[in-house]
Chains A and B, each alone.
Chain A
Amino acid sequence: MTTTSPSPASSDDRPTAIANWFLIFGFFASYFVARVFVRDESLPALVRFVLCFFPAIMGGVVIHRIVAFVRSLVDELERRIQSEAFAFAFPAGLLFSMALGFVDHSGLLHIDPWDYWFFHIPLYFVGLILARRRYK
């Protein structure tokens, strides 16, 4: 049992926050690098193959940091809220991707499947708003 300060995160220090922002930036950078170079036929096939997985590896590190953040939260209600936000965002993201796939398949609007993942980010914030409202 922890009886420390009621602040939401126990490891809320500036170096960690800066490192997290660098990781997020690194993830987006790796995504755009991969997106530009995977179709570059002047590169060896092995390099292009590795590039395909590069953003996923960077994303894995970001996921590790997110899980560590939620586990580090001292306040148990905040931990519940964050967990509920992610629990909402994951299936909602799948359903939204499915709907976008249908829209693309219907020919009514072309949405590049490359961009589907990006729509998952606002869904986390929707989940966060809903969870906060529930416990307000």
Chain B
Amino acid sequence: MKNRVPELRTAKGWSQGELAERLGVSRQTINAIETEKYDPSLPLALKIGRLFAQPVEKIFTLES
């Protein structure tokens, strides 16, 4: 699954650690999501969407 998390995070000027803290997860989780090694759970994806004020489907997209 592709995602725009790095782009959105950078636009906010946050480090991976700052984003992790805001979401209540580890920096390792954010890094794994950004490098597309790990797909977040639905609750975490929804939290990411809420944090960036964007619908989840605009942040995460299935690769065709």
Contacts and interface: CB of A to CB of B under 8 A. Distances in A.
B20 interface: yes
Nearest to A3: B24
Contact of A135 (B24, B25, B28): B28
Given A1-B47, A76-B40, A77-B38, A135 B32 contact: yes
Contact size class for A? 10 to 19
B10 interface: no
A6 B27 contact: yes
A8 interface: yes
A74 interface: yes
Interface string A1-19: 1111110100000000000
A6 B37 contact: no
Taking residues whose C-beta sits less than 8 angstroms from the other chain, chain B's interface range is 10 to 19
Nearest to A135: B32
A78 to B, nearest CB: 6
A6 B32 CA distance: 15
Contact of A75 (B25, B43, B46, B47): B25
Given A1-B43, A6-B21, A135-B32, A75 B37 contact: no
A76 B25 contact: yes
B44 A76 contact: yes
Given A6-B21, A6-B26, 12 more contacts: A1-B47, A2-B24, A3-B23, A74-B24, A75-B25, A76-B29, A77-B25, A77-B28, A77-B29, A77-B38, A78-B29, A135-B32
Interface of A: 1-6, 8, 74-78, 80, 134-136
The 9 closest A-B pairs by CB, nearest first: A77-B29, A3-B24, A135-B32, A75-B26, A1-B43, A6-B26, A75-B25, A6-B20, A76-B41
